[in-house]
Amino acid sequence: MKTNMSTMQHYIDLKDRPFFPALISYMSSGPVVTMVWEGKGVVKTGRVMLGETNPADSKPGTIRGDFCIDVGKNIIHGSDSVDSANKEISLWFKQEELVSYTSCAFSWLY
């Protein structure tokens, strides 16, 4: 199953941690929606939208602040850098699956 294998590879740096089996089990227990965002400052902006890793430290209005309770049941992941994003994107997508999109508002924003 691609989702389970991608999930394991995604979190492989945590494989020696005692919570790894529970993390993989939880992250593989339901649908996973993967996406790639692009834009100016997208990693920083995305992380603000997600909230803190520990939902208890997240502000209301963030995804984790509004929809998470426990750090062990975190419902969303966001890359912490462009390098991490590129590595993680390659775990979930083939190059030909990525589509570039230019919004009609692009020229007004940039």
- 1-27 pLDDT, tens per residue? 455 677 878 888 888 999 888 888 888
Are 51 and 58 within 8 A, CB to CB? yes
User: Which CATH number fits the domain 33-108, given the four candidates 3.30.300.130, 3.90.1150.10, 3.40.190.10, 3.30.70.141?
Assistant: 3.30.70.141
Express each pLDDT in 35-79 by its tens digit.
999 888 999 999 999 999 999 999 999 999 999 998 888 889 999
pLDDT value for 1 = 40
Active site residue 10: no
* Start-to-end C-alpha separation, the chain: 41
Here the tokens at position 11 are 């979190």
Out of 32, 46, 47, 77, pick the active-site residue: 77
Instruction: Tally helices (H) and strands (E) across the chain.
Output: 6, 0
Cα gap 77→92, rounded to integer Å: 13
pLDDT class of 87 with cuts at 50, 70, 90: very high
